[in-house]
């Protein structure tokens, strides 16, 4: 039953995100980054801060972006590689990290569109510019979907984004700020691993 609920939640989320997406390229240039080192700080405006470095996703295995120690920190116990339509235009190599309880994290390496994609006309999603370990990012949640899921897309390179989602598969988790906090924590961990890969 839990697996069926998760599959339904994933299908609904992907369909909603796809219907919210618009065609077109990147928009605007990044503004200078703030001097804060806060892992999850909200920034004003709709421009993504300049990234401190470029981290390419082309050959990254999404199921290795969370180490065994990091998986313990978020109580994930198993991985499963998948190809997902995270951003319209191409499938992205991704990984489901299943939790001990009723939840799943998804980590995806999007290499055909950067995070500015989410800031043009997001449609059925609400977006907020944040920072994750000094990298600009966009927090994404479905409009009217409080307690359903939360995603964080990190600006890691030109035209690329590291996308991390948290989807509870139990109706007991309804606090959107908690869901987004969990997505941001997992995004921070995945980004830390990505920085070590050459």
Reported pTM:
0.77
pLDDT in the model for residue 173: 72
Q: What is the DSSP letter of 88?
A: T
pLDDT at 47: 85
If you search the block for the tokens 């030109």, which residue do you land on? 158
Amino acid 136: pLDDT: 96
pLDDT confidence of residue 32? 29
Long-range CB pairs of 58-61, under 8 A, 24+ apart, other chains included: 58/111, 60/93, 60/109, 60/194, 60/197, 61/93, 61/95
In this prediction, residue 45 carries a pLDDT of 52
CA neighbours closer than 13 Å in the CB half-sphere of residue 115: 31
Sequential pLDDT tens for the chain (198 residues): 333 333 334 433 443 443 333 333 333 322 223 323 334 444 445 688 899 999 999 999 999 999 999 999 999 999 999 999 999 889 999 999 998 776 899 999 999 999 999 988 667 888 999 999 999 999 998 887 677 889 999 999 999 999 999 988 776 777 889 899 999 999 999 999 999 986
Burial class (CB in 10 A: 0-12, 13-18, 19+), 178: middle
- pLDDT at res. 4: 38
Dihedral angle, C-alpha 135, 138, 141, 146, nearest 10 °: 60
pLDDT tens digit string along 30-39?
222 332 333 4
């Amino acid at each position: 039953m839990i697996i069926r609920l998760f599959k339904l939640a994933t299908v609904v989320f992907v369909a909603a995100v796809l219907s919210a997406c618009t065609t077109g390229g990147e928009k605007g240039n990044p503004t200078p980054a703030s001097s804060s080192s806060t892992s999850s700080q909200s920034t004003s405006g709709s421009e993504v801060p300049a990234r401190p470095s470029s981290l390419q996703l082309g050959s990254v295995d999404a199921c290795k972006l969370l180490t065994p120690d990091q998986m313990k920190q978020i109580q994930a116990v198993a991985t499963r590689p998948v190809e997902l339509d995270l951003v319209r235009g191409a499938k992205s190599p991704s990984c489901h990290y299943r939790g001990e309880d009723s939840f799943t994290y998804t980590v995806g390496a999007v290499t055909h569109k950067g995070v500015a994609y989410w800031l043009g006309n997001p449609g059925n999603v609400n977006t907020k510019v944040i920072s994750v370990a000094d990298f600009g990012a966009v927090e994404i949640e479905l409009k009217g979907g409080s307690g359903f899921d939360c995603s964080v897309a990190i600006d890691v390179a030109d035209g690329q984004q590291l996308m991390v989602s948290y989807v509870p598969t139990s109706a007991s988790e309804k606090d959107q700020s908690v869901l987004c906090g969990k997505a941001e924590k997992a995004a921070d961990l995945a980004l830390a691993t990505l920085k070590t890969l050459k």
